Amino acid sequence: ETGYAPGFTVLNGNGDPVKNARLEIWQANAAGRYSHGADTNTAPLDPNFQGFAIITTDTMGRYRFKTVKPGAYPVSPTWKRPAHIHVDVYGKTDRLVSQMFFPGEELNEKDSIFLGLGSEKAAALASVVPATADIEKGAVLLNWDIVLNKG
């Protein structure tokens, strides 16, 4: 699937937007392979997909990016990671390293990292929201708010 356009808002613990937060984003390609020399997955690399971006939130703590849905990939013979996107968020005071998971993925409930979140699992799941007029036909728009304690 292509055309995923996550929408994010970075907020502090009071619900105020965190402007100019820096986000480093990385993910596997649609085949489940990272564009990184340490990735031992034999899935094909996509020469048109770098899998990494650095972006900054606007004055309302918002940002958006367009990407492909990352493929699941094997970690071991008994563990396959579900589709997810990594984020490293730098606010004014706080830093958060996390993963955004896609809703409805069967592998979510088999993933030790997702399951390890316990009661926080819901906070790691993006939600599908209605596509806006600027989203290409067939694309899916996701939303996932990130809360930094102090911002």
Nearest C-alpha neighbor of 124 from the set 102, 106, 104, 141: 102
84 tagged catalytic: yes
Task: Spot the catalytic one: 4, 33, 63, 73.
Answer: 73
Nearest C-alpha neighbor of 82 from the set 132, 121, 52, 131: 121
Instruction: Tell me the backbone φ, ψ of residue 13, rounded to 5 degrees.
Output: -60, -20
**HSE-CB for 10 with a 13 A CA cutoff:** 30
Task: Spot the catalytic one: 34, 62, 64, 95.
Answer: 34
Task: Spot the catalytic one: 4, 63, 84, 90.
Answer: 84
64 tagged catalytic: no
Q: How far is residue 50's CA from residue 16's CA, in Å, rounded to a whole number? A: 32
81 tagged catalytic: yes
- Quick one: tokens of 86? 């990594």
Q: Which residue has the tokens 């085949």?
A: 31
36 tagged catalytic: no
Q: Which residue has the tokens 């564009």?
A: 35
Active site residues: 34, 73, 81, 84, 86
